[in-house]
Amino acid sequence: MTTPRFTPLSQSLPASVPFVGPETQERAMRHAFKARLGANENMFGPSPRALEAMALAARDVWMYGDPENHDLRVGLAAHHGVAPENIVVGEGIDGLLGYLVRLVIGPGDAVVTSDGAYPTFNFHVAGFGGALHKVPYRDDFEDPDALLARAHAVDAKLIYLSNPDNPMGSQLSAVAIEQMIESLPDGCLLILDEAYIDLAPEGSAPKIAPDDPRVIRFRTFSKGYALAGLRVGYAIAAPELAQAFNKVRNHFGMGRIAQAGALAALADQDWLGAVKAKVVTAREDFAEVARENGLKALPSATNFICIDCGQDGEFARKVLTALANLGVFVRMPGTAPMDRCIRVSLGDADALAIFKDALPRALTAARA
């Protein structure tokens, strides 16, 4: 009997996923969560125009989607004031990160990221044999100086930086990002993950020429536009880099319903503005729950907040476990000292009420 002849690289990798989904936890617990506050989903919902467009597109779901994503790319280009050749669309930022790493990284190539930053990126780098080099956060913020210093030292081909940041919700200034780009090593590409930029304060996005070959910006319809279940992400990059994705991407990865929903959501900027206002209010409401329980909510430019539980990671994990036992799904940073926090996605009034009831009981259980 024969078996698949796996590559040595694939044989060396663990069969794991970067995140354990809430559905997996619910199956293990044999009951559903009362409040889903761990995946940074937008509970305030998508534009009604997007829902209508998807319903109409469902009638034609027997057809494949446009493999060039033409209409969505043209719409995105107009929205951002760039050319369609600067836009690449894919299966969420996660999928696009995988394609980029495949294009750029070979076995042993150096890649720099922050310890505790988005683990799916690390998953892709390991999958293609890259050498990950990590630097610590500084005061709960990504550290551009440390990232640059390590990139120069190891001749990195890629630097990964999220801004606003996940998991902490912190944000570097636009000027800091612009200065970082000017200090990149020759031949090093900055991956600027802006998944949460639609929910950040006005003026947060740095000014970057769309044809600048030193940086690629990733954005998504999962957060501000509340279409996480569609898996639609896109990148803004110099044409040579954007078009290189056509060499490796799944050309039929974006279905007709996803393309139609994303395009309609993009056209409804009034809805996005209303959602952003709700997120701002929810930040304060959830932060007030933290304060009522003697805890500190860290400043956030995203649709989640990190709550400092006041002790170490062991204690925060007890709080997280106690919340899960009470039916509230949250997550937490995995690296010290940031793991002193729990990360809570912002929700509607019902979710807020559930969290407000559960947090003091979870703290009591953790302290016991």
Structural domain range at position 200: 49-267
What H or E segment, with its residue span, contains residue 317?
helix 313-325
The pLDDT of residue 341? 98
Do residue 173 and residue 282 come from a single domain?
no
* pLDDT mean over 277-287: 97
Backbone angles phi and psi of 28, in degrees to 5: -70, -35
Average of per-residue pLDDT values in the chain = 96
The pLDDT of residue 3? 83
* pLDDT mean over 21-45: 92
The yes-or-no verdict on residue 1 having pLDDT over 80 is no
The pLDDT of residue 357? 98
In a domain, 23, yes or no: yes
In a domain, 10, yes or no: no
Residues facing 228 on adjacent strands: none
Do residue 230 and residue 293 come from a single domain?
no
In a domain, 12, yes or no: no
Segment among 16-20, 296-300, 325-329 with least mean pLDDT: 16-20
Do residue 215 and residue 79 come from a single domain?
yes
Question: 242-267 pLDDT, tens per residue?
Answer: 999 999 999 999 999 999 999 999 99
* pLDDT confidence tier of residue 17, bands split at 50, 70 and 90: confident
The pLDDT of residue 15? 85
Do residue 293 and residue 204 come from a single domain?
no
- Where a domain ends, among 267, 302, 325? 267
Do residue 300 and residue 159 come from a single domain?
no
- What span, in angstroms and rounded, lies between the C-alpha atoms of 326 and 294? 20
* pLDDT mean over 14-43: 90
In a domain, 207, yes or no: yes
The pLDDT of residue 55? 98
Do residue 37 and residue 58 come from a single domain?
no
Local structure of residue 141 (DSSP, 8 states): B
Do residue 316 and residue 329 come from a single domain?
yes
Do residue 339 and residue 249 come from a single domain?
no
Percent of all residues in the chain with a pLDDT value above 70, rounded to a whole number: 100
* pLDDT mean over 104-112: 97
In a domain, 5, yes or no: no
Percent of all residues in the chain with a pLDDT value above 90, rounded to a whole number: 92
The pLDDT of residue 284? 97
CATH number at residue 274: 3.90.1150.10
The pLDDT of residue 18? 79
* pLDDT mean over 106-111: 97
Question: 132-183 pLDDT, tens per residue?
Answer: 999 999 999 999 999 999 999 999 999 999 999 999 999 999 999 999 999 9
The yes-or-no verdict on residue 273 having pLDDT over 90 is yes
In a domain, 140, yes or no: yes
278 conformational bin, left if phi > 0, alpha if psi -120 to 50, beta if neither: alpha
Do residue 57 and residue 141 come from a single domain?
yes
Dig out the tokens for 165 from the structure. Answer: 């940041």
In a domain, 72, yes or no: yes
Dig out the tokens for 173 from the structure. Answer: 């200034």
- Where a domain ends, among 207, 233, 267? 267
The yes-or-no verdict on residue 327 having pLDDT over 90 is yes
In a domain, 210, yes or no: yes
Do residue 211 and residue 276 come from a single domain?
no
Three-state SS across 87-137?
EEEECHHHHHHHHHHHHHCCCCCEEEEECCCCHHHHHHHHHCCCEEEEECC
* pLDDT mean over 232-244: 98
The closest alpha carbon to 205, from 192, 191, 188, belongs to: 192
Question: 204-226 pLDDT, tens per residue?
Answer: 999 999 999 999 999 999 999 99
Do residue 41 and residue 53 come from a single domain?
no
Model pTM? 0.95
Do residue 62 and residue 194 come from a single domain?
yes
Number of domains observed in the structure of the chain: 2
